[in-house]
Structure 1
């Protein structure tokens, strides 16, 4: 498993947590940061998947 997949998944989880906390306390900036972290994590996870596919081929 590529390290980008692990790091990307961690960023998605971190982003979800930020969104939840932001919603709970009414902090729109924190929610936006969480959404950005989730997107960044999904992209990094996808890059890791591509790297895995290339390595396995």
Structure 2
């Protein structure tokens, strides 16, 4: 897997993922908040499987 998620994109994904999971754990939003695992995982791994399909890369390399 080639890195395709840049620094700013990575920070936003991780924060959004943690926010959604946290809101789900507190009961503020329903179980659908666990979808936050997806942006969290793509931010941590620095790879988004959808980006190559769309020809996008936010990584400066």
More helix by share: 1
Whole-Å separation in 1 of the counterparts to 2:11 and 2:33: 19
Give structure 2 stretches of 5+ with no counterpart.
Answer: 48-58
* Alignment coverage as a number of residue pairs: 46
Matching of residues 31-42 of structure 1 within 5 Å: 31=34, 33-42=35-44
Give RMSD over aligned pairs.
2.7
TM-score w.r.t. the length of structure 2 is 0.57
Work out whether residues 12 and 38 of structure 1, in 8 Å CA contact, stay in contact via their aligned partners in 2.
yes
Q: Which structure's CA Rg is the greater one?
A: 1
Give structure 1 stretches of 5+ with no counterpart.
Answer: 52-57
Moved over 4 A (4+): none
